[in-house]
């Protein structure tokens, strides 16, 4: 029996009637060539933001359940239009909401996790020659409530469906032709990777590369799903996410990911004060604040952590509630920062890599606010105004430029 390919199309790929027609043409060609396809679609570009803005006009603190009910309407539009486009081309198609497929999730509204994808209905449609067109980003909990998987959740929907169907590939179609060594908008000399390991891709995604959601990469790795990133705008083989380590780097650096709009908060009196450290991070976790890079300066008993710039004022207010009870000292903060992360194959020694990176940036008069290392990742915090210069100089220094 012909293998199944699950194909996910993001918001820009279905962002206009013309784009929907172009995708429908490509799906029709593959269908006539005998390919069995399951489609997963995002909402049209900008639609989810528009729906969230509508909610904010009614109630800025609307319940997460009602927000999920509202924003899933975007995918309902795109899947219905795509099914219509395929039917007009003589291809039998069926649009399906997550609840109709029975994509079962937990009940964490706004950030639900997929627990089960029922496949009987999908297999029945495929056996009847019908192309299922599934709404990404959404599912249904045990009580029948509509849930969403969080921003970028359509990637995870596609991977979960591919895993359940034992698909040959899960193909993520986007507006770029694959995974690049860095953002081509920052450095035009970025080169497309023919392949990248799951470990490196996960770190690239987690540190800011927008081409894949990190949850989808982790899910694919966990379930053994073959993952490929392709362009819906031009032909090509894209980038294959591999289970082994591709031998395509001399320096040991695979790519450079960036994340703009960062802030940095430093609190004294926390280091060597375990109750204060526990209280601080518990308070942040309870307020759903995601902290990222964390560093200690023992000589000043200072603990610093990075976070989204938009969360800084909220965090300062939370810290203020802890100051008296835990004898916290001065609190400092910075905004308009960016995080630059070098992702490696594991070959470089991180201490040596950190020394080289800081030396390279210092030669460019770029101040490093914070350095953090992990097994295959080194991240630095710098002023956002220096981002392009920093990335281009590091990209060149680690031999990532186009040959």
Quick: pLDDT tens for 126-164: 999 999 999 999 999 999 999 999 888 999 999 999 999
Task: Give all domains of the chain, ordered by start, each with its CATH number.
Answer: 4-175 (3.40.1160.10), 254-397 (3.30.2130.10)
pLDDT at 249: 61
Question: Percent of the chain beyond pLDDT 70?
Answer: 98
pLDDT at 364: 93
Of the listed ranges 227-236, 291-300, 328-337, the one predicted with least confidence: 291-300
pLDDT at 292: 84
| 247 pLDDT higher than 70 | no
Stretch 370-382: mean pLDDT:
90
| 166 pLDDT higher than 80 | yes
pLDDT at 403: 61
pLDDT at 375: 83
User: Which tens digit of pLDDT belongs to each residue from 176-233?
Assistant: 899 999 999 999 999 999 999 999 999 999 998 888 999 999 999 999 999 999 999 9
pTM reported for the whole predicted model: 0.88
Using H for helix, E for strand and C for coil, what is the string for the chain? CCCEEEEEECCCCCCCHHHHHHHHHHHHHHHHCCCEEEEEECCCCCHHHHHHHHHHHHCCCCCHHHHHHHHCHHHHHHHHHHHHHHHHCCCCEEEECHHHHCEEECCCCCCCCEEEECCHHHHHHHHCCCEEEEECCEEECCCCCEEECCCCHHHHHHHHHHHHHCCCEEEEEECCCCCECCCCCCCCCCCECCEEEHHHHHHHHHCCCCCCCHHHHHHHHHHCCCEEEEECCCCCCCEEEECCCCCCCCCCEEEEEEEEEEEEEEEECCCCCHHHHHHHHHHHHHCCCCEEEEEEEHHHCEEEEEEEHHHHHHHHHHHHHHHHHHCCCCEEEEEEEEEEEEEECCCCCHHHHHHHHHHHHHHCCCCCCEEEECCCEEEEEEEHHHHHHHHHHHHHHCCCCCC
Question: Percent of the chain beyond pLDDT 90?
Answer: 77
| 346 pLDDT higher than 80 | no
The residues pairing with 333 across neighbouring beta strands, listed in sequence order, are: 265
């Amino acid at each position: 029996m012909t293998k199944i390919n699950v194909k996910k199309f993001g918001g820009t790929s279905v962002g206009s009637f013309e784009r929907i027609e172009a995708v429908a043409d490509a799906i029709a060609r593959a269908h006539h060539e005998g390919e069995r396809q399951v489609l997963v679609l995002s909402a049209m570009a900008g639609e989810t933001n528009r729906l969230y803005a509508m909610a904010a006009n009614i109630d800025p603190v609307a319940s997460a359940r009602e927000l999920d009910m509202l924003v899933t309407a975007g995918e309902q539009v795109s899947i219905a239009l795509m099914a219509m486009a395929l039917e007009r081309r003589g291809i039998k198609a069926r649009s399906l909401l997550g609840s109709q497929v029975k994509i079962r999730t937990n009940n964490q509204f706004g950030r639900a996790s997929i627990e089960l994808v029922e496949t009987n209905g999908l297999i029945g449609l495929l056996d009847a020659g019908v192309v299922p067109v599934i709404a990404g980003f959404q599912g249904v909990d045990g009580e029948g409530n509509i849930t969403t998987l969080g921003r970028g959740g359509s990637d995870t929907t596609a991977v979960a469906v591919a895993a359940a169907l034992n698909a040959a590939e899960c193909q993520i179609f986007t507006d770029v032709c694959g995974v690049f060594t860095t953002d081509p908008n920052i450095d035009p000399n970025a080169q497309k990777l023919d392949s990248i390991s799951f470990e490196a891709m996960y770190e690239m995604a987690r540190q800011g590369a927008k081409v894949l959601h990190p949850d989808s990469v982790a899910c694919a790795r966990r379930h053994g799903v073959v993952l490929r990133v392709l362009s819906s705008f031009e032909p090509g083989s894209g980038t294959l996410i591999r289970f082994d380590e591709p031998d395509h780097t001399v320096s040991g650096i695979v790519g450079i990911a960036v994340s703009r709009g960062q802030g940095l908060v430093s609190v004294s009196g926390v280091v060597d004060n375990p109750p204060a450290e526990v209280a601080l991070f518990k308070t942040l976790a309870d307020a759903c604040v995601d902290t990222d890079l964390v560093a200690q300066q023992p000589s000043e008993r200072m603990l610093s952590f990075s976070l989204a710039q938009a969360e800084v004022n909220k965090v300062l207010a939370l810290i203020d509630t802890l100051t008296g009870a835990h004898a916290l000292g001065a609190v400092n903060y910075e905004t308009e920062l960016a995080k630059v992360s070098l992702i490696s194959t594991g070959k470089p020694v991180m201490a040596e890599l950190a020394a080289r990176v800081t030396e390279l940036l210092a030669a460019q008069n770029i101040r490093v606010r914070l350095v953090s290392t992990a097994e295959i990742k080194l991240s630095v915090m710098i002023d956002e105004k220096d981002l392009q210069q920093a990335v281009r100089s590091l990209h060149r220094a680690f031999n990532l430029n186009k040959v």
